[in-house]
């Protein structure tokens, strides 16, 4: 397996405000730089293959997926927010409810609340740059698999991406790394399926491909009826128009364990096999591991290894894109367990 890793991701760190005065103790940001450093070190220690920096595929693959107004906000937002009376970490205070108002204002705070759907994606000085390189990490992994250089490539992305849709971002995500890689692969003539196994529903990925049949999207996640992102990820969301029956959600109850999880994973993989993709992108959220502070499933290391082994059975080229996973003391072991299963070790 080849792992792609952009070393300078720590320049984006909203968690630096976790202990700050004036946040009323309400501000807790668990998407920390240590997450992917721990995973990288564990991948290295387990000798799972080379770890290399991403190449630069430019802005085009990003512009093919995301709205220009949103990209502009992410690029210039920090500079403009610094000129307001707001104090960092910069988050919106009012959110556009787009079914209620369709207007796009010019005020920087107005734009922020237009393009963000929650407070969990603050704009920092280096957010744009680090999110850009997170995308390049995913596209680099896709390109390596497309070239046939390896059967499995791992994009150790940070920040994650699966909550970001065409013109909305949130949930620690700014640009949808997995969706951009999938769309890029489609443009190279590939038939792509995405299997999202993050604890949270990949609402951004679902939304981007909701009207499309050229990317199959399957997501297994905590039931949004009582878990973030609340408004998407229900089992009756099958896609629309050309995309109808190319989106499948598998919500699970809190506390779900290995038996139920693997049975559900097989249902998702049945959809994938019927689709007959050339490449499968796995949105890997290690927040499915037991004890994750953002999670609620009870999956042990052996379960993660089994999940990897089931995905291996697809016998297809795999691009693994890192999403969530926040329990720092076990993150390395979780990742290695998953990849030992995926790589048949
Ligand atoms: C990529 C990903 O996993 N995003 C998850 C975003 C979920 N954010 C919800 C934040 C809720 C507040 N977190 C505090 C943890 C208390 N247990
Ligand atoms: Zn998650």
Mean pLDDT of 48-52: 98
Ligand with an atom nearest the CA of residue 229:
1
**Contact at 8 Å (CB) between 267 and 250?**
yes
Taking the CA atoms of residue 52, residue 56, residue 59 and residue 61 in that order, the dihedral angle to the nearest 10 degrees is -70
Residue entry with tokens 């367990």: 337
Instruction: Using CB atoms within 10 Å of the CB of residue 76, give its burial: 0 to 12 exposed, 13 to 18 middle, 19+ buried.
Output: middle
| Ligand 1 environment, Cβ below 6 A | 28, 120, 160, 163, 171-173, 198, 200, 228, 285, 287, 293-294, 323-324
User: 23 pLDDT exceeds 70?
Assistant: no
pTM of structure = 0.97
141-168: string of b/e by CB count within 10 Å (b at 16+)? bbbbbbeeebebbbbbbbbbbbbbbebb
User: 73 pLDDT exceeds 80?
Assistant: yes
**Contact at 8 Å (CB) between 283 and 197?**
yes
Mean pLDDT of the chain: 97
Atom number of ligand 1 nearest to Cα 170: 6
What is the 172 CA–ligand 2 centroid distance (Å)? 9
Q: 247-252 and 192-196: which strand pairing? A: unpaired
User: 216 pLDDT exceeds 70?
Assistant: yes
Q: How far apart are CA 48 and CA 206, in angstroms?
A: 31
Mean pLDDT of 169-192: 99
DSSP state of 175: S
Residue entry with tokens 């059975």: 313
* pLDDT value, residue 311: 99
Most informative mutation of 14, 17, 18, 120 for ligand 1 (most atoms within 8 A of CB): 120
Whether 126 is catalytic is: no
Which among 276, 164, 291 is positioned nearest to 229, based on CA atoms? 164
* pLDDT value, residue 27: 72
Atom number of ligand 1 nearest to Cα 324: 3
Q: Which residues pair with 3 in a beta bridge?
A: 51, 154
Q: How far apart are CA 78 and CA 243, in angstroms?
A: 36
State residue 327 phi and psi, 5-degree precision: -85, 95
DSSP state of 142: H
* pLDDT value, residue 102: 87
Helix (H, G, I), strand (E, B) or coil at 111: helix
Q: In this predicted model, what pLDDT tens digit does every residue of 78-129 receive, in sequence order?
A: 999 999 999 999 999 999 999 999 899 999 999 999 999 999 999 999 999 9
% of the chain residues with pLDDT over 70: 98
Which among 70, 31, 57 is positioned nearest to 166, based on CA atoms? 70
Atom number of ligand 1 nearest to Cα 323: 1
Q: In this predicted model, what pLDDT tens digit does every residue of 235-245 receive, in sequence order?
A: 999 999 999 99
**Contact at 8 Å (CB) between 219 and 179?**
no
Tell me which residue has its CA closest to atom 2 in ligand 1: 324
* pLDDT value, residue 28: 83
33 vs 18, more confident: 33
* pLDDT value, residue 25: 64
What is the 287 CA–ligand 2 centroid distance (Å)? 6
What is the 334 CA–ligand 1 centroid distance (Å)? 18
Q: How far apart are CA 58 and CA 60, in angstroms?
A: 6
What is the 323 CA–ligand 2 centroid distance (Å)? 7
Catalytic residue among 2, 9, 163, 221: 163
């Amino acid at each position: 397996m080849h792992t792609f890793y952009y070393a300078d991701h720590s320049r984006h760190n909203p968690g630096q405000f976790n202990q700050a005065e004036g946040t009323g103790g309400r501000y807790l940001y668990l998407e920390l730089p240590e997450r992917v450093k721990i995973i990288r070190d564990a991948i290295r220690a387990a000798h799972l293959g080379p770890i290399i920096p991403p190449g630069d595929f430019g802005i085009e693959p990003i512009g093919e997926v995301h709205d220009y107004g949103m990209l502009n906000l992410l690029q210039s937002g920090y500079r403009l927010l610094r000129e307001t009376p707001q104090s960092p970490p910069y988050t919106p205070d009012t959110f556009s409810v787009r079914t209620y108002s369709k207007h796009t204002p010019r005020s920087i705070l107005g734009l922020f609340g237009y393009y963000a759907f929650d407070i969990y994606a603050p704009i920092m000085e280096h957010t744009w740059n680090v999110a850009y390189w997170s995308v390049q990490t995913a596209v680099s992994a896709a390109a390596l698999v497309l070239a046939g250089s390896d059967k499995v490539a791992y994009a150790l992305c940070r920040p994650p991406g699966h909550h970001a849709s065409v013109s909305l971002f949130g949930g620690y995500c700014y640009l949808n790394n997995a969706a951009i890689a999938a769309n890029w692969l489609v443009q190279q003539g590939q038939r792509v399926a995405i299997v999202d196994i993050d604890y949270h529903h990949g609402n951004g990925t679902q939304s981007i491909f909701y009207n499309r049949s050229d990317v199959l999207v399957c997501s297994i996640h905590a039931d949004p009826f009582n878990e973030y992102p609340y408004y998407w990820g229900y089992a009756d969301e099958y896609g629309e128009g050309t995309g109808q029956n190319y989106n499948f959600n598998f919500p699970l109850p809190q506390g779900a364990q290995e038996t139920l999880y693997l049975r559900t994973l097989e249902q998702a993989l049945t959809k994938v096999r019927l689709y007959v993709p050339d490449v499968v992108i796995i949105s890997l959220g290690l927040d499915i591991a037991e004890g994750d502070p953002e999670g609620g499933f009870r999956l042990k290391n052996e379960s993660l290894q089994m999940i990897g082994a089931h995905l291996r059975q697809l016998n297809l080229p795999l691009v693994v894109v890192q999403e969530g996973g926040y329990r720092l003391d076990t993150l390395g072991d979780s990742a290695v367990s998953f990849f030992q299963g995926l790589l048949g070790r």
